Chain A
Amino acid sequence: MGKYTKMAYSSAEEMIFGTAKNPVKYGRDFEVGGGQVYPELVPHPRPGSEETKKSLMREYERMVTDSLERAIALGFPGIQIELEHVWQMTKNPDWGGDIAGQTKKIQEDFFRKYGLKSAIRATIADNRKPDLENIRDCRSLELALKTFETSAIAGADNLSMESVGGKEISDHTIVRQDIRGVLFGIGVLGSRDMEFMWKQIVDIATKHGATPGGDTNCAQANVAMFMAGGMLDKSVPHTFAAITRPIGAARTLTAYEMGAKGPTKDCAYEDPIIKAITGVPISTEGKTSACAHADLQGNLIAAVCDLWSNEAVEYHDMFGGTTPAVFTEILGYDVALMNTAIEMGKAKDLQAMFINSDKYRDVHSYVVAPDAAYEIGKAIVDNNSSYYARAKAGAIKAAYLILEDSRMLLSNFEKEALLKTLKDLESFPDKEENFVDQCISIYKKSIPGFKPQNYGL
Chain B
Amino acid sequence: MAAVDFTKIFTRYDLQKETGEKGLLAGKDEVLQRVIECVVEGDDENIVAAVGAALNVHDPMEVIREGLVKGMAEVSRLWDEGIYFLPQALISSDVMLEGIDICENKLGGLMEKKGIVVTHTAEGDIHDLGQKIVNALLRANGYEVVDLGKDVPVDNVIEAIKKYRPAMVTGTALMTTTMTAFKKIANRLKRDNIQVPFVCGGGAVSLEYVNSYDLGIWGKDAQQAPLMAADAVTGMNWEEIREKYNG
Residues of A within 8 A of B (CB): 44-51, 86-88, 91, 127-129, 132, 164, 171-172, 175-178, 223, 227, 231-232, 234-238, 240, 314, 352, 356-358, 360-361, 407, 409, 411-414
Contacts and interface: CB of A to CB of B under 8 A. Distances in A.
A175 B14 contact: no
Interchain residue pairs A-B with the least CB separation, the first 10: A177-B87, A87-B124, A231-B14, A86-B177, A235-B86, A47-B176, A171-B129, A50-B177, A231-B13, A234-B85
17 contacts: A44-B177, A50-B180, A51-B180, A87-B125, A87-B175, A88-B177, A91-B124, A127-B126, A128-B126, A171-B128, A176-B90, A177-B85, A235-B85, A357-B9, A409-B12, A411-B18, A413-B18
B79 A232 contact: no
Contact of B14 (A88, A171, A232): A232
A231 B17 CA distance: 10
A236 B86 contact: yes
A154 B153 CA distance: 31
Contacts of B85: 177, 234-237, 413
B58 interface: no
Given A44-B176, A88-B177, 8 more contacts: A48-B180, A86-B175, A87-B124, A91-B124, A127-B126, A175-B86, A236-B86, A409-B15
Contact of B177 (A45, A164, A236, A360): A45
B17 A46 contact: no
Contacts of A176: 87, 90-91, 94
B133 A175 contact: yes
B171 to A, nearest CB: 14
Contact of B149 (A51, A132, A240, A413): A132
B12 A234 contact: no
A317 to B, nearest CB: 15
Given A171-B129, A176-B91, A232 B180 contact: no
Contacts of B177: 44-45, 47, 49-50, 86-88
A49 B175 CA distance: 13
Nearest to A414: B14
B121 to A, nearest CB: 10
B132 interface: yes
Question: For chain A, what secondary structure do more than half of its interface residues adopt (helix, strand, loop), or is it mixed?
Answer: loop
B19 A413 contact: yes
A341 to B, nearest CB: 15
Contacts, number: 102
Interface in B132-179: 132-133, 149-151, 175-179
Given A234-B86, A356-B4, A357-B9, A164 B180 contact: no
Contacts of B126: 127-129, 164
Interface string B111-137: 000000000000011101100110000
Contacts of A48: 180
Contacts of B12: 231, 361, 409
A367 B91 CA distance: 27
Contacts of B133: 175
Interface string B90-119: 110010000000000000000000000000
Contacts of B132: 171-172, 175
B90 A87 contact: no
A127 B151 contact: yes
Contacts of B175: 86-87
A357 B86 CA distance: 29
Contacts of B128: 171
Nearest to B125: A87
Contacts of A223: 129
A260 to B, nearest CB: 23
Interface in B1-48: 1, 4, 6, 9-10, 12-15, 17-19
A144 to B, nearest CB: 12
B129 A175 contact: yes
A248 B79 CA distance: 29
A236 B84 CA distance: 10
B213 interface: no
A51 B204 CA distance: 18
- Residue among B14, B88, B91 having the largest count of chain A Cβ atoms under 10 Å: B14
A232 B18 contact: no
A157 B77 CA distance: 53
A409 B178 CA distance: 40
A240 B86 CA distance: 13
Contact of A129 (B15, B88, B150, B178): B150
A240 B175 CA distance: 26
B124 A234 contact: no
A48 B180 CA distance: 7
Contacts of A227: 86
A232 B10 contact: no
A177 B89 CA distance: 11
Interface string B194-217: 000000000010000100000000
